[in-house]
Structure 1
Amino acid sequence: MKQEQQLSQQTGSASASSLDMLGRYRILCRLGRGGMGDVWLCEDPRLHRQVAIKTLPTHNQGDQEFVKHFEREAEAAASLSHPHILSVHDYGKQALPDGTVVTYIVMPYIHGGTFADRIAYYEQKQSLPPLLEMLSLLEQGAQAIDYIHKRHLIHRDIKPANMLLRDGNWLLLADFGIARILDNTDQQAQGSVAVGTPEYMAPEQAFGQATITSDNYSLAIIIYQLSTGRLPFQGETAIATMMQHQLQPPAPPRQFNPALPPAFERILLQGLEKGPKLRPALAVDFVAQLKQTLTDVAFQPTVLSTIRDLPALDFRESNTVTAANQEDEQRRRQRLTRRNLLWGLGGTVAAAVVAGAGLDIWEYVTHLPPAPLKLSPIKSISALPDQSGTDQPVLVLTGHNQAVHSLLWSHDNHSLLSGGLDAMTLWWDIAGLQQHPTRPYGQPFYSKQLVGKQFGLSPLYPTMSPDERQIAIFNTAIIQNKSTQITTYGADLRGPRPFEVPQAQNFFGAAWLRSNYLTGLSIEVDQKNRNNGSYKLYVIDPVQPQQQWKLALENGNLFQLNVPNLLLADPTKGSSLLAVQFGKQIVLGQVMVSEQTQWQASAHISVPMNMQCMAWTPDGQNILALYGDSNTNKWSLGLISRQNAFSSSLQKTVPLSSEINLPTVPGGNASSGTYNCLASSSQMVAAGTSAGDIYIWKLTGGSLSAAAPLKLKTSGIQASVQQLAWSPDGKWLAAGFNDQLSSILIWKL
């Protein structure tokens, strides 16, 4: 209780809580309490808006030196203008009845929580956050950090709690100048006592020696936490944590997360170097290279510049150690004492630690600076999985920047084509990789790469011509939201021929008819009810692309547009039959190409619940439908024979030939997961889930086996399965995952 009272007195919370107004601002409630002060939700009666006000520790009214310093730093913070820095609206001071004065800073009130809240969410789920997504947010913070460094300012308290989130995906760095104000005050009172948060504080900050790379060190701590699920240094007490920063090297991140690329680890550990001049000087370059190691297996990291390379950034702020006592400070840096490791009002518990710890002197602990962690140079990479054995994949392929949405095998079973949400199409020599899975470091696993123009999250749909001489890729570009581009290539992915399809704003499925005409399914959304839309089928002559027909199919519900493909061509040789997925039904029909090209529906297949995905069997004699309800977590797989489909009249629902119940899918929070994709060989059916599970059922004599399915092992990957594809001979299964590396796994079954 005594320590709590001391903390309240030091932060001024007891005095501020007795006020109704701070300047012109009316206090509504307290939002938070920390070692650097309290944060209050207030109302600005002049501008009629809510603001957040941070009150700093109280000082005597006669302490004009502090007031001048506060005003100088508040003005400096208010002068910062950057899209990822929380702006300062106003600042002020207010005398209190007890003879003290409370200073405050007025900022916008941001509703979206903090980056710390985002981390805590994944900690509660006991899972690592999506690293690429989190790094994209931190990249915004890195831009703000570089901005202030180029203005010769240092933040001194970079941590997740000082990163606010607006609208979920816009990061704002807060508390500029706060740490500097308190750091200066405490140095005057106690010597070289530093301000910061122990878990994120660079070693040199314990001596009041902050540099720009102190901020970058804190940023590296956050990234270590995101990528491993733990902090690199965390002692039983705050002082013990600071001693670990000083004395211990961080454990290699891949020790806790083997899925991290070796290059990621090497770059991150440079950010955690003990010596300030060994760390990256530019935060944006640091984060950008970390991101690139996750998205490009062929990426060869470049040397990151340090402050030795950028002397303009090697500065000392005015309130740090002067030249007269730098020699004494250098000697003191080699001795670690308890006094040197005490800090002022840095973290949320720092003031309580200072108040309760006392200032008795420990014995000096003399030590040599720890040697930088040496990692063996990476000479090669392998496509082999970390684990081998029954039901394990034989290859683990990486190369896409975002999730793989389309997979297409060559007819000779030797190669695989993949299309991702990153607008890249990659060609993989599966037969060659199985024989020679190792590549020199920096060389990709894929054999060829096509890079399109990324737009939103629209997937690519590759399809191969019946004669195997051409490949068409739909959605290679969206042109002014008025037309969509399709590009055809030779079988060797050379000789691109792009052409536009006017009025088609996106394709949700593609197929190459046996008559050598291309078809693409587009949807025109009903502007009055955006849950409904009109399905349109485009028919294009790839030899003369200007020959195009737009056919109206029917209206339908748009609840399910993220499935792998809403349009499938009958694999039977010479057939022009198409299967189109509409909400809870599949419609079978044909495209009749002539001067009056038209769509002729032949059969309707309805299911009792929401349709998730569909697939033809390779012989074209059956079509599979996977359907269910994520609310009840009940899922079924139905098989409909081609014969039954065409023996029923168009007005009647085609009965299922066989049906089996599927395993439930685990999900997060209160909701369950879903089945995402389906693929069939002549003897087996595979289905993938949002939880990362892949199940295999036997297919015998046109019926599904009711026996318990085989569950494949995924080499430790626990992320949503986005797409599945069997090789034509049914011996290989490929799966695309939405994990951090957008992995593709290959099984030989």
Structure 2
Amino acid sequence: MHESGAMQNSSIATLGRYRILQRIGRGGMGDVWLCEDPTLRRQIAIKTLPSHSETDREFALRFEREAQAAAALNHPHILPVHDYGQQPLQNGQSITYIVMPYIAGGSLADRIANCVAQRMFMPVDFALLYLMHAAKAIDHAHEQGVIHRDIKPGNMLLRTDKWLLLADFGIARILASADNLTQTGVGFGTPHYMAPEQAQGRAEFASDNYSLAVIAYQLFAGRVPFDAGNAYATTIQHMTLPPPPIRQFNRSLSPTFEAALLKGLEKQPAQRPSSARDFVATLQQALTSNAHYAPTEVKATPFPFPGMPSPQNSFPQATTVQQPFPGQTTVIENGQAKQPVTTPPNATRRRLVIGGGAAVVLAGGGLSIWTLLPKISAPPSVTPQPTSAPIVPPAANQSLVLRGHNKPVAILAWSPQGVLASAGSQGDGQVFLWDVQTLFQQKESPAKPKATQQFHTGQDILLAWSPQGDMLAIANADSGPDFNSTRLDVYTGDLGSLASGYNDKFIIKDALVVDVLSWSPSENLATIVHSSSNLDAPDALTLWDAKHPQQVLASLHTPRRAYTDVGLTLTNNPMAFAPHTQPLTLALGTHDGISVEQIDLSKLQPQIKESFLFTYGDNEKYTSSTKLVAWSSDGRYLAGIKDNYNKPTSIAIWDMQTHTILSARALPDDVSTYLLTTIWSPAAASSKIAAGANNGRVYIWDSNGNALPIDVKSPPADIQASIRALSWSADGQWLAAAYNDQNASIVIWKM
């Protein structure tokens, strides 16, 4: 099928008896045209679907069946279907169309956009009214045996400010491929609002209810629960991740309301409320019992509340304030609109579902996904204590800029020999090797990689060097043979070919992506994945036998699930390891804090257990959510950084011997930024720890005494973006940072 824009190219002035006036809407499922009905002398709206071959009888039958089913729906809150038809084009294609009333009041999506622009939450009366109108329409359709499959704010039209009409019944089903005619609309819908089972081809009544719950979340949080930056990754988030607690974004909501809302977002359809009306009624009851959020108030509530993260990436600065709703109170602070709040461009992308991102690290030198814990050495002579050491102004650091990726770099990894590997994000599909030492000496411009590999993937790629640096493992560069599997590639250290013993049949089943990738010191490859068939299953940790490549050495389940929230980037992955140690010890970033776990491979059946849990000592549980962890080079100290929702301005450090939290390494009070990623220098006896921030700078602390940074690295002036990934070479001589700028820049500093 071709885009319906083909109709415009054919200079068609009428559809059936209807005269086309102008196009008033365009979307992925068709265009909407304002037309005139000359017989009834009224304006109507016509939705044209993507064109198809005139000989495609299956599509024609499906269109007629679904159009008739939609026309049979008669409800005050369902936009009626007046007529439908098909019109041939000159190129052998045909246009199908559906005739509906013209509604000039806009959509719920427009109202949400207005609220976001003014940095306000939806007035509670309006939010509940719209949700209940939509719920009644959904329940009525379900009683007639009709599933909508594309419930979203854009399909909710407003006849007046207090009257919602649900539109586009049957459109997703019509556009299902001929191969899926007898199924349930596989893959059709809008990813931000699509239920997990619908994404897997099993749409049911509860799928529409889930979509309504997503809209409820959006109305009261100012943002959708899942947004990974692309359709595939967002869909996988709906399937695998728990939604962020809504009270992170709107603390005026009660725990009872949050629980009721999350019930509507259950992964399993049977665990959701039985009807859409029951779901909304439960929300209304929870709000009524909350005096602070009384439903009789007809005014907007400003967001974010003090100490809360912004629900959107940015909000435009405005000198005049548009009223999103009639009679609504405009929110002004100190006599003027507030300044925009900006979060990094990567804040809506999640490494878990697009190629990695569990905040997990085996103890050892430097930050890594896996770093082995060496024998605990004697305590250093100086224990970390806070001081008032002044921050060192940014200097004219000797640096090198590397470019060549088409999308911002998702991961950086140094080999033991000092070769830097980089992989792009979001379908860039490129893996580069950079000889940094030579590039610094030659000062060639532009700098060129020493080796490249191009893959075809829509995901972020994971990289992991073997301990000897003779092999580079690459995950998520190619899909498996089916939807429920993924493939690993293990290349030689020069990217010239697949390594000895490895082939292109290295498949992990029951997994959509690899979440964590690394090597143990004995050359055992390690992966962590989430089950694609059982969403409630714990994380699966697999050690692959070094002596028998592609064969499983141990298959385990972690006691706690790795941190899997939305809006974070966990691509810090230098992969520094310590010598052989038994049992292996790993630190896992979770929603509860940092879980320190041990793996005993000496038994016939290898076991993994939690030793202890490090927390930040905060009162609210979600504030211990940890996205990144790092070990000091001697394994004595463990560092953690909270998730982006908390806008962390410090790095927490725990003493592994005493199991106590020490004074944090913090940003100066006069620095308005927050930290995105952290890494400990893997060099022997190094006490330096670094963190990348959303202002593009890298802050460096001495863990042996200074609470404030001792150095700051700044990118060249033409790079104005947040840091996406950070990596320190094994000898501590080179520090690399990847940026979220349009040039996909990597900056290397010589330390």
TM range (shorter): 0.3 to 0.5
TM-score by length of 2: 0.45
The structure whose Rg is larger is 1
TM-score by length of 1: 0.45
